[in-house]
Structure formats: C-alpha cells, structure tokens
Structure 1
Amino acid sequence: MTEEEAAAEIAGVMKKAGLVWLSWNGGRPAPAWFAAVEGSYVVLADRSGGTEQPLPGLADAGTVQVVVPAKPATNRLAAWTATVRRLEPGSEEWTTAAQVLRTERLNASELDKQLDRWKTEADLLVLEPTGELTETSGSFDATPRAESPPGSPATTRGKRPITLHRRAWRRPKLS
C-alpha cells in the first residue's frame, strides 16, 4: 500500500470515529477525543492534572499507535502509527487547532476561559500519520486484547442495606 493510499484509508476511518484509543511507550491504551485540522489530527492532553483528558507522557512520546474503534465498541476499523508533535501555545497553528477543538468539545465548561486554560494547563498535540497501517479491514491481528482493569481506590459497599418490608421471593404472574 502506498503512502497516499494509506493516508486516504486513515482519513476515511477517522471520519467515522468520535474518539480513538492511543497507546505509547508500551503503556495501556487510553481513549482520547480528537479533531481533524487540515489533514492532521489534534488531541488535547492535560499537562498538570487539571480538568482536561489525562494522557500523561503523550507529549514526550515520539510515536503513538492509534486504534480507531467501530461504532459497536467491540470492533476495530483500523490501527495506524503516528508521530506526535506539540504545538506552541499562541502560535497561529495552535490558535487554529484550538478553535477547531473548541467547537468539537461536547461538555465544555467556562467557554470564555477555555483557551486561556488550555495555554497554561494542557498541550495541543498533532498526530501526523506516518503512512503505516498496522491493521485494516480484512487484516486484523488475532492476538487477544483482554486486560485486567486498572487499580482503583473504590471498594465494595459491605453488607446489604436493611429492608423494612419483606422482599418478594417470586415474581408475580403477569396474567
């Protein structure tokens, strides 16, 4: 597959996606929302543990594996490799990408302060396709991808709550 064909395939599958799964430096894949800006794909990554999407270490990664899921989340459309480039805050390219991301953001709060917050607390990262498609329709990797859930401070509740009246042991007949 030539580089132009790969770019066309990537553009086709990215139009169908609302989010992608990113994997870098051998780490666990993380979901990320993105926006298409002039043939590249821009991701907002939180830098300081703030309110944006947490993608720790992505700004320092040289390359990233991008997995595009199909609408039923159990399938994949494609997987491709991209290089990561950080946009300099305040530059013309950063402003263009930030405006596009701002319109794509579905649950934004404090719209009037959003761009200023992104300049100080987040990185705008450009994912540029290298032309390497690792998985496409008809040629998927068959290795199992099941992983154990990440650790969490959440615990179970303990014993069941007290009920005031007896619970019905049988379901009532419908007719």
Structure 2
Amino acid sequence: MERAVVEEAAKKSALVWVRGPEGPARALWHVWHAGAVCLVGDGPDEQPFAGLGLADGARATVTARSKDKGGRLVSFTTLVREPAPGSEEWAETVAELKGKRLNAPDAERIAERWARECRVLRLTPAGGTEPLPDGSLAAAPLPTPATTRDRAPGSLPKLLLRGRRAR
C-alpha cells in the first residue's frame, strides 16, 4: 500500500522536496518514470543539485506534495542512481524529462546538452515511508543575493485605486 501511495503522489505532483545527505531540502521539478523520481540539473539553465550531496549510491529523502493544496502528502527514502550518458536507461529517462521541461532554450538539442553539461538522476524508493511530522518544519530561507525593495511609497495605493475607478 505504501508503494502505491508513493507512486501516486509522485505522479501527481510536478514538484518534490529532496533532502540529500548534505544541506537542507530543496524543491525540484521531476518526472515519475519506471518506478523512480527522475531529475535533471547541475548545468546551465537547469536546477541546481549543489549542496545536496546527491552522488551515485547515496540515499535521499523525497517529500511529495499535494498538487492542489501544496501540503505534504508523503515522505520516503530513496537510493540515488546516476545512469551513464548514452546508456539505454539514460535515454529512456531523458525522453520522459524532455516532455516535461518547460521553456528550454534549445528544445531540439536538449538531450545533447544534458549529456554534455548536466546530470540526470533517478531516485528509486528504497524503504518505507516516513511518518508525518507533528509540528512545523519551517526553515529559514537559503541565503540569496536577491533583495526586496524598501517600503512602498505612500501614494501607491491611491494610484492603484484610481485606475480601478476609471474602469
């Protein structure tokens, strides 16, 4: 029954939280294919895996979320596998990932770029599900060079409301 819950949750959610042996969990887009969470990253224009410690043979924890509410559905332990570029397993995984990759700058040659510059990973469930936590798992945001603006100008609400009244 646990296997069915894991598979259904991973299929329905386009985003999973992955916590590797190192660092905090990170949200990553994925595809569920042939019994595994399939990921592509660590290259230009792709999601970063740095700091997670996702090496071939390592263990990682994957948390699938609800597609409509965004809440945690299930967490499960996985075994990380990195198929060799050009292998049959790699080609099958990339074929599935290509169909879900949005806004790729080079959609027609994406498999060549992934083979040359990126890592393709398969996270296969290896064990049961983890119990849901009792409390909040909120964590401080990761450091980033992005900043927010200062307070909004006092006249901004008037400007925004004036545009609505004119309609």
TM-score calculated relative to the size of structure 1? 0.79
Indicate the residue corresponding to 2:137 in structure 1. Answer: 145
The one-letter code of the counterpart of 2:69 is: P
Q: What is the aligned length?
A: 159
Residue by residue, what CA displacement relative to the aligned partner does 1:51-97 show, whole Å, maximum 9, x if unpaired?
Answer: 11111132357111100111222x21111010001010001111111
* Distance (Å, rounded) in 2 between the aligned partners of 1:144 and 1:88: 39
**Is this contact kept in 1: 2:17–2:28, CA < 8 A?**
yes
* Distance (Å, rounded) in 2 between the aligned partners of 1:160 and 1:150: 25
**Is this contact kept in 1: 2:11–2:31, CA < 8 A?**
no
Of 31, 51, 54 in structure 1, the residue corresponding to residue 48 of structure 2 is 54
Structure 1 regions of 5+ residues with no counterpart?
none
The one-letter code of the counterpart of 1:72 is: K
Which runs of structure 2 are paired with 1:42-121 in the superposition (5 Å)? 42-46=38-42, 48=43, 50-56=44-50, 57-59=53-55, 62-70=58-66, 71-73=68-70, 75-121=71-117
* Distance (Å, rounded) in 2 between the aligned partners of 1:89 and 1:41: 17
State the secondary structure of the residue aligned to 1:126: strand
Of 6, 17, 20 in structure 2, the residue corresponding to residue 21 of structure 1 is 17
Percentage of pairs with the same residue? 31
Structure 2 regions of 5+ residues with no counterpart?
none
In terms of fraction of residues, the more helix-rich structure is: 2
Runs of 4+ in 1 over 4 A off after TM superposition: 156-163
The one-letter code of the counterpart of 1:53 is: Q
